[in-house]
Structures are given as structure tokens and as C-alpha cells.
């Protein structure tokens, strides 16, 4: 059989949202314009991804089931530029495909969901078939009644500071 896949980027770019909007307006734009029809959210993780409030909000709204939004599956992908945090205050973990990462410099809400068993984290895929398998698994898991997402963390109110190197896992 021929397997056809179609990916649509729904990520928020820097110029997509008016920076003068009130916080609640911005959150509504993210929820309604970018997240509402997604089925799986892929978080691309670089060195500073965890610091961005929009990333936190995108993750939070994508795993929240509402009348406007079905719950999305969730995966994290470590970009080739990603480096584990080198200080001894962070523990080391292994991605699903064996790459070392430090939970303290991946998005906290993503890590909460890795711990809950709702999300998985991978190193950069070696083929589109590998990526398709990850997406399919996350899609299947999104409505599994035995594995609930963890969305208990308070939403970021602002981006984390330039000199902040990690959050505490």
C-alpha cells in the first residue's frame, strides 16, 4: 500500500502576532489560528527553545481539549544544534532513540508530559519514515484514556532571561 502523509506547519513565527497585543489576546490567537486544527504538535528543540513563552503556550493549548480544539499528540525533537546542559545541576536522560539530553533545557511543559507518558522526545530523525512513525504513535496516543497529558504548570508570563541557562527539573 502507498502511504501518503501531509504535514502542515502551524508554528507561530515572530512576526505572526502583534507584540502590542494583551496576553489573553495573544493566547487566543495562538489557540484559534495556530493550534485549533492540529493533530500532533512537534516541538523542535534548540538551545533556547525552552525559554520562549509562545512555545510553552503552544504546547499547553495543543494538549488541552476544548470545544474549539481536539487534543493533539505531542513529541519533542532535539535539533542537531541542541547541546545537553553541561553543569552538574542537571540530570541526564536518553531520548527514545538514544541521544543524551538534559531535562532542564527542554521546554518544561514538554518534559512534564514526557514524565506523564503522554509525550516522547527524540533526536533528529534520519528519515521521513522514522518521523512518520513518531507522528503516528503520538496521534494514536492523544486520546488514550489511560495516558493523560499534564497541563498543571502555570503558563509562562514572559520569555525566560537571556542569561538563564536552565530551569530546574
In a domain, 93, yes or no: yes
**Domain assignment of residue 91, given as a range:** 23-141
Which residues, including other chains, have CB under 8 Å from residue 80's CB and lie 6 or more apart? 124
Distance separating alpha carbons of residues 73 and 85, to the nearest angstrom: 26
For residue 120, the SS3 value is: strand
Written as nine digits, the cell of 15 is: 512576526
The pLDDT value recorded for residue 27 is 74
The pLDDT value recorded for residue 5 is 57
In a domain, 151, yes or no: no
In a domain, 103, yes or no: yes
10-residue averages of pLDDT along the chain (169 residues): 55 72 76 76 92 90 82 95 82 93 94 96 94 94 89 88 69
* Structural domain total, the chain: 1
Distance separating alpha carbons of residues 38 and 92, to the nearest angstrom: 31
The pLDDT value recorded for residue 2 is 47
Is 3 in contact with 131 (CB distance < 8 Å)? no
The pLDDT value recorded for residue 32 is 74
In a domain, 127, yes or no: yes
The pLDDT value recorded for residue 10 is 62
Question: Residue 80's beta-bridge partner residues?
Answer: none
The pLDDT value recorded for residue 17 is 76
In a domain, 115, yes or no: yes
In a domain, 81, yes or no: yes
Amino acid at each position: 500500500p502507498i502511504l501518503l502523509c501531509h504535514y502542515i506547519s502551524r508554528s507561530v513565527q515572530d512576526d505572526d502576532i502583534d507584540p502590542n497585543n494583551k496576553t489573553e489576546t495573544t493566547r487566543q490567537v495562538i489557540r484559534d489560528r495556530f493550534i485549533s486544527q492540529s493533530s500532533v504538535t512537534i516541538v523542535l528543540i534548540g538551545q533556547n527553545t525552552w525559554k520562549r513563552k509562545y512555545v510553552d503556550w503552544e504546547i499547553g493549548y495543543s494538549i488541552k481539549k476544548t470545544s474549539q480544539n481536539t487534543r493533539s499528540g505531542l513529541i519533542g525533537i532535539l535539533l542537531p544544534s541542541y547541546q545537553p546542559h553541561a553543569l552538574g545541576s542537571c540530570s541526564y536522560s536518553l531520548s527514545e532513540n538514544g541521544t543524551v539530553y538534559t531535562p532542564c533545557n527542554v521546554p518544561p511543559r514538554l518534559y512534564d508530559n514526557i514524565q506523564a507518558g503522554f509525550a516522547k522526545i527524540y533526536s533528529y530523525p534520519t528519515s521521513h519514515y522514522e518521523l512518520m512513525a513518531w507522528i503516528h504513535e503520538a496521534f494514536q496516543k492523544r486520546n488514550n484514556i489511560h495516558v493523560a497529558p499534564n497541563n498543571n504548570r502555570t503558563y509562562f508570563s514572559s520569555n525566560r532571561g537571556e542569561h538563564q541557562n536552565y530551569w530546574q527539573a
